[in-house]
């Protein structure tokens, strides 16, 4: 992509009503557009980044046997009435609408009930189990407060997976596999050292659920953490009883601010009983399906990365998430066209090799090019100028490490294409 053609430009200021750092940075860098509080559109740079986040999750979910689906956003009222969760007292984030033809629909804030309903068409016998499916879906929630940029949207991206198992043992395997997949995902996002599996409010079946909490000043949660012992407890379940159960003392734990990037739930048999999802087990008995559900906030993830990996110059993406892998920057010499010719040749060559490259071919000052590159935050930057040309090499700059070195074209191609 030529930066001269890239839709959008960077801007000096974010809208004055935007209070969150992640959205301010992402708006200024041209990744997102604010539609209203809690509602943002993805522009080319933002969409590419979000797609890379999704791709990492997709690869790791596929690796543990997940199969991707996509469910609808419009949901029938009746299936939520059956479980009592159509009630606005119980679920305070519903968006609902009247159908012109009569009746009401809900906008998907979760897919637990709809997917359970759908599985009635597909799960009959123990031979059909386990089923493990996931989707990337825009969830719609009437959140009361939406001041955390893309970390708390009224419309936001989520990966949600659901497991359907023949008994607890089968369920436990998927649950454990998912924990490992999540750990790999957060490793690839570069936040493993600040993300902790946390004991959290449980829900119907288990005493605790597990959340994945990332240390982040812009988060909305607090956890009590002991890094050495790798124990984290959500403030919401912090009590003498919890401490005793987990065998820790309050003095050993530090209260830190975090953002919930993911969570996993074991529903036991309760959810399937509520939904009415039964199958015939090996003994031929009618049995409720053992269900689990597993979320990761994909747009929140992008917001968290923008928060925790940025510096005073702008965004700093980890390589796997960076909207482009390569940022090729031409510094045009005043008297010669050699640098431009060379940059054009290299850009075309990289494209023909299938490289993921943004090429700053614009006729603007070097200062502006570097300021924009710092703001956009692409991880690998390569500079071509008269100076690098006469050295017969290319200048490489790592946005994450802040280091510069000279490399050959061959090295660029081998390492970054």
- Residue 156 or 396: which CB sits closer to ligand ATP? 156
- Residue 159 or 327: which CB sits closer to ligand ATP? 159
SS3 56: helix
> How is residue 141 written in tokens?
């929630």
- Residue 75 or 110: which CB sits closer to ligand ATP? 110
Q: Whole-number minimum distance, CB 161 to ligand ATP, in Å?
A: 11
Q: Whole-number minimum distance, CB 47 to ligand ATP, in Å?
A: 17
Binding mask 55-94 for ligand ATP (x = CB under 6 A): ----------------------------------------
> How is residue 317 written in tokens?
């993406």
Q: Whole-number minimum distance, CB 184 to ligand ATP, in Å?
A: 17
- Residue 160 or 177: which CB sits closer to ligand ATP? 160
Q: Whole-number minimum distance, CB 367 to ligand ATP, in Å?
A: 36
Compute the CA torsion angle 191, 193, 199, 205 (nearest 10 deg). 50
Burial 251-284 (b: 16+ CB within 10 A, else e): eebeebebbbbbbbbbbbbebbbbbebbbeeeee
CA–CA gap between residue 308 and residue 25 (Å, rounded): 12
Out of 66, 153, 292, 314, the residue judged to bind ligand ATP by CB under 6 A: 153
**CB count, 10 Å around CB of 105?**
16
Q: Restricting to residues 257-316, which ones interact with ligand ATP according to CB under 6 A?
A: 260-263, 295, 297, 299-300
CA–CA gap between residue 395 and residue 406 (Å, rounded): 5
**From edge to edge, which strands make up the β-sheet containing 404-407?**
357-360, 326-330, 380-384, 394-398, 404-407
Q: Whole-number minimum distance, CB 298 to ligand ATP, in Å?
A: 8
Of 7-15, 151-159, 314-322, 364-372, the window that binds ligand ATP (rule: CB under 6 A) is 151-159
CA–CA gap between residue 156 and residue 145 (Å, rounded): 14
- Tell me the residue number closest to ligand ATP, measured at CB: 297
List residues bridging with 32 in a β-sheet. 42
SS3 27: helix
- Residue 184 or 280: which CB sits closer to ligand ATP? 184
Block residue for tokens 């987990």: 246
Is residue 170 within 8 Å of residue 181, measured between CB atoms? no
Is residue 200 within 8 Å of residue 217, measured between CB atoms? no
- Residue 160 or 332: which CB sits closer to ligand ATP? 160
Out of 21, 28, 111, 152, the residue judged to bind ligand ATP by CB under 6 A: 152
Q: Restricting to residues 87-146, which ones interact with ligand ATP according to CB under 6 A?
A: 110, 141, 143
- Residue 23 or 129: which CB sits closer to ligand ATP? 23
Binding mask 169-188 for ligand ATP (x = CB under 6 A): --------------------
Q: Restricting to residues 335-354, which ones interact with ligand ATP according to CB under 6 A?
A: none
Say how many residues touch ligand ATP, by CB under 6 A.
15
Which residue in 175, 240, 232 sits closest to 206, CA to CA?
Answer: 175
Confirm or reject binding of residue 52 to ligand ATP (CB under 6 A).
Answer: no
- Residue 28 or 111: which CB sits closer to ligand ATP? 111
> How is residue 115 written in tokens?
């997917």
- Residue 115 or 383: which CB sits closer to ligand ATP? 115
Is residue 212 within 8 Å of residue 263, measured between CB atoms? yes
CA distances from residue 216 to 56, 118, 144 in whole angstroms, order as listed: 21, 37, 21
Contact residues: ligand ATP, CB under 6 A: 110, 141, 143, 152-153, 156, 158, 260-263, 295, 297, 299-300
């Amino acid at each position: 992509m030529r930066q001269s053609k890239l839709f959008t430009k960077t801007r000096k200021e974010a809208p004055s009503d935007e209070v969150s750092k992640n959205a301010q940075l992402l708006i200024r860098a041209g990744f997102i557009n604010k539609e209203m509080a809690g509602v943002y559109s993805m522009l080319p740079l933002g969409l590419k980044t979000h797609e890379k986040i999704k791709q990492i999750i997709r690869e790791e979910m596929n690796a543990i046997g997940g199969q991707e689906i996509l469910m609808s956003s419009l949901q029938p009222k009746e299936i939520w009435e059956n479980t009592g969760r159509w009630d606005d007292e119980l679920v305070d984030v519903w968006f609902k609408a009247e159908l012109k033809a009569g009746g009401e629909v809900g906008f998907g804030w979760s897919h637990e009930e709809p997917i359970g309903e759908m599985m009635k068409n597909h799960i009959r016998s123990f031979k059909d189990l386990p089923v493990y499916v996931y989707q990337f879906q825009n969830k719609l929630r009437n959140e009361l407060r939406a001041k955390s940029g893309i970390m708390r949207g009224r419309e936001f991206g989520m990966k949600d997976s659901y497991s359907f198992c023949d008994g607890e043992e089968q369920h436990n395997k998927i649950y454990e596999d998912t924990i490992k997949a999540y750990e790999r995902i957060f490793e690839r996002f570069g936040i493993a050292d600040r993300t902790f599996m946390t004991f959290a409010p449980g829900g119907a079946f288990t005493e605790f659920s597990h959340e994945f909490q990332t240390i982040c000043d812009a988060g909305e949660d607090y956890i009590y953490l002991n890094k050495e012992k790798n124990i984290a407890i959500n403030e919401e379940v912090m009590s003498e009883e919890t401490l005793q159960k987990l065998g820790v003392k309050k003095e050993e734990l530090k209260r830190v601010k975090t953002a919930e990037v993911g969570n996993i739930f074991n529903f036991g048999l309760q959810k399937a009983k509520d939904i009415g999802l039964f199958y015939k087990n090996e003994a031929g008995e009618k049995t409720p399906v053992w269900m689990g559900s597993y979320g990761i906030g994909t747009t929140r993830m992008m917001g968290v990365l923008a928060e925790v990996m940025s510096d005073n110059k702008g965004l700093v993406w980890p390589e796997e998430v960076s909207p482009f892998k390569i940022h090729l920057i031409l510094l045009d010499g005043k008297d010669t066209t050699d640098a431009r010719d060379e940059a054009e040749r290299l850009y075309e060559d990289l494209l023909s090799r299938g490289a993921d490259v943004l090429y700053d071919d614009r006729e603007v000052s070097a200062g502006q090019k570097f300021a924009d590159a710092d703001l956009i935050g692409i991880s690998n930057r390569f500079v071509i100028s008269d100076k690098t040309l006469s050295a017969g090499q290319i200048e490489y700059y790592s946005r994450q490490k802040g280091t510069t070195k000279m490399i050959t074209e061959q090295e660029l191609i081998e390492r970054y294409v």
